């Protein structure tokens, strides 16, 4: 851990230099002014810095060009969208838009923007900025690496600037989840047009938003440093500096927390809960809005045959697997949708464990080997990490006469391997972005193979997806998503494995961070006693 301590010292030094801190503390009331551990009524440098440790680097910091949780956790502290979610749910609230109107036909949304907001580079946030941010994710400007463009803006026809603080978004068809989509941390946040122009339409390493923290530096494989945006339009961040620290190994993150080298950590599993609490630190627990699943490559023989997919699924004892890997901190998934999402139906049944039937069917189909790819780091929906999950599946398949080879990759490389499609089985998961069932079920209809990792292409399924978008919330719409669940289960597109409990470790003197149900963490109100 000596190397980690040196990295931390360098990062803190950089932050303190850039933010102009002097001496052993400071008196800025917005950063808190209670007495620190050093006494004297002034906060210590350590108390002016929150260190959040996660398992991997972000893929990038341009909200239009990434789709992973590691990126999202940093992004939400730098950027904002027109709308936001409430602290404890996916209920919509105003953000950069103070209010909005919806036309009677559901095709035009008029947003009235907040006055006096500036991007962190000093440029004005206005209706033209909104148009630029959305237009870059619409044809003909949208690029294939804008993974969330279809999710957020797939129903958008065009954007009109009415005046400096009024913008109209016109849709091609009514979209019930559209407002929820505008609060998501991917695709929807507003980026400085100036920054986009200066960086060739890609701010993955040069993020500029309107949020409570500004970007300072990114040392790959080590950390990202943020500092408080003292020109923020809203309530200023309580803590001056935030460091996102990257520690791939679960046990090393726990050691960092218990040694005081990190204030908050994620990606922990059941095996370390007692170790964290035994050291006087705390565990945040919440029901997770997520799904952890195995996906078949439905475009490759023999996995383009539903009978083969079903037989592989029959070989796997999901309840036993979930108990073994997650030890009570995840529940076996009987459905793609978490139980509290509209459209969930307890009567839906996935392929049941039947080892004898699996062995006979696979032998009859001549399936004796297959290729698995997986990821090495923990994920919020799979805290045991992808390799442990793949090896457990490998064991079940061996019992039915199938030899599975596993190739495991770091997360960034894994995303590219999934895109390339060289696998029979891969492992993935999803954290709900907006609390809407479409956000889950649309994954099997998306044309992007980084979203639809099963590469499932079913016209009837896509027709139901389109229908669900246009129906108002209620029983009729819920039935559409229940029917989609039934279709996916019958076709054995995925083998749903588990819904994970959200677990976050934190030091006992840390308070007021908001680990949201969408899997991101808001740190502007966080502080240390």
The C-alpha atoms of residue 409 and residue 415 are separated, in whole angstroms, by: 9
CA angle (386 as vertex; 384, 389 as ends), nearest 5: 70
Q: Do domains 80-205 and 290-501 have the same CATH topology?
A: no
Q: Which CATH superfamily is domain 290-501 in?
A: Dipeptide-binding Protein; Domain 3 (3.10.105.10)
Q: Could you confirm whether domain 1-78+211-281+507-529 is CATH 3.40.50.1820?
A: no
Render pLDDT for 228-244 as a digit per residue (tens, 0 to 9): 999 999 999 999 999 99
**Following DSSP, what letter does each residue of 83-113 receive, concatenated?**
EEE-TTSS-EEESSEEEEEE-TTS-EEEEEE
Q: How far apart are CA 36 and CA 316, in angstroms?
A: 53
Q: How would you write the pLDDT of the chain (529 residues) with one tens digit per residue?
A: 433 333 344 444 444 333 333 322 222 323 222 223 333 334 555 579 999 999 999 999 999 999 999 999 999 999 999 999 999 999 999 999 999 999 999 999 999 999 999 999 999 999 999 999 999 999 999 999 999 999 899 999 999 999 999 999 999 999 999 999 999 999 999 999 999 999 999 999 999 999 999 999 999 999 999 999 999 999 999 999 999 999 998 899 999 999 999 999 998 888 899 999 999 999 999 999 999 999 999 999 999 999 999 999 999 999 999 999 999 999 999 999 999 999 999 999 999 999 999 999 999 999 999 999 999 988 889 988 899 999 999 999 999 999 999 999 998 899 999 999 999 999 999 999 999 999 999 999 999 999 999 999 999 999 999 999 999 999 999 999 999 999 999 999 999 999 999 999 999 999 999 999 999 999 999 999 9
Q: Which CATH architecture has domain 80-205?
A: Alpha-Beta Complex (3.90)
**Residue whose C-alpha is closest to residue 430's, from 445, 416, 440:** 440
Structure tokens given for 358: 């699996």
Supply the pTM of this predicted model: 0.84
Question: Domain coordinates of the chain in residue numbers?
Answer: 1-78+211-281+507-529, 80-205, 290-501
294 CA to centre of own chain: 18
């Amino acid at each position: 851990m000596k190397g980690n301590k040196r990295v931390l010292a360098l990062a803190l030094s950089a932050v303190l230099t850039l933010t102009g801190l002097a001496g052993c503390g400071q008196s800025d009331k917005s950063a808190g002014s209670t007495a620190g551990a050093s006494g004297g009524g002034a906060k210590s440098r350590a108390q002016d810095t929150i260190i959040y440790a996660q398992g991997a680097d972000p893929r990038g910091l341009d909200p239009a060009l990434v789709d992973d949780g590691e990126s999202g956790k940093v992004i939400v502290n730098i950027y904002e969208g027109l709308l936001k979610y409430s602290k404890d749910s996916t209920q919509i609230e105003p953000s950069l838009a103070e209010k909005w109107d919806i036309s009677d036909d559901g095709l035009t949304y008029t947003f009235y923007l907040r006055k006096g907001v500036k991007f962190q580079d000093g440029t004005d946030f206005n209706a033209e900025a909104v148009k630029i941010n959305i237009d870059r994710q619409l044809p003909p400007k949208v690029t294939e690496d804008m993974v969330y463009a279809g999710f957020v803006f797939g129903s958008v026809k065009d954007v009109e600037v009415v005046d400096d603080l009024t913008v109209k978004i016109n849709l091609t068809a009514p979209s019930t989840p559209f407002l929820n989509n505008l609060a998501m941390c991917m695709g929807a946040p507003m980026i400085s047009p100036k920054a986009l122009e200066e960086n060739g339409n890609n701010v993955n390493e040069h993020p500029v938003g309107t949020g409570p923290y500004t970007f300072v530096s990114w040392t790959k494989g080590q950390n990202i440093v943020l500092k408080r945006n003292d020109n923020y339009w809203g309530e200023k961040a309580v803590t001056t500096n935030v460091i996102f620290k990257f520690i791939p190994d679960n046990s090393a993150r726990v050691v960092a927390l218990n040694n005081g080298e990190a204030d908050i950590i994620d990606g922990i599993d059941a095996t370390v809960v007692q170790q964290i609490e035994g050291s006087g630190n705390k565990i945040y627990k919440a029901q997770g809005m997520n799904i952890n699943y195995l996906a078949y490559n439905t475009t490759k023989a023999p996995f383009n045959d539903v009978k083969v997919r079903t037989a592989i699924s029959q070989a796997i004892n999901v309840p036993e697997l979930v108990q073994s890997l997650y030890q009570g901190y995840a529940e076996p998934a009987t459905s793609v949708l978490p139980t509290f999402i509209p459209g969930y139906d307890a009567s839906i049944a996935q392929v049941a464990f039947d080892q004898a039937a699996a062995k006979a069917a696979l032998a009859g189909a001549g399936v004796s080997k297959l290729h698995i790819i997986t990821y090495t780091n923990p994920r919020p929906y799979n805290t045991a990490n992808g390799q442990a999950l793949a090896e457990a599946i490998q064991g079940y398949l061996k019992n039915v006469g199938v030899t599975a080879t596993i190739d495991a990759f770091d997360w960034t490389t894994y995303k590219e391997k999934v895109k390339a499609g060289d696998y029979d089985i891969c492992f993935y998961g999803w954290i709900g972005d907006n609390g809407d069932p479409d956000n889950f079920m649309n994954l099997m209809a998306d044309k992007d193979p980084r979203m639809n990792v099963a590469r499932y292409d079913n016209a009837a399924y896509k027709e139901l997806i389109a229908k669900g978008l246009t129906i108002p919330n209620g029983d009729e719409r819920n039935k559409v998503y229940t029917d989609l669940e039934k279709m996916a289960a019958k076709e054995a597109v995925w083998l749903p494995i588990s819904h994970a409990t959200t677990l976050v470790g934190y030091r006992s003197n840390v308070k007021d961070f908001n680990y949201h149900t969408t899997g991101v963490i808001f740190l502007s109100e966080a502080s240390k006693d």
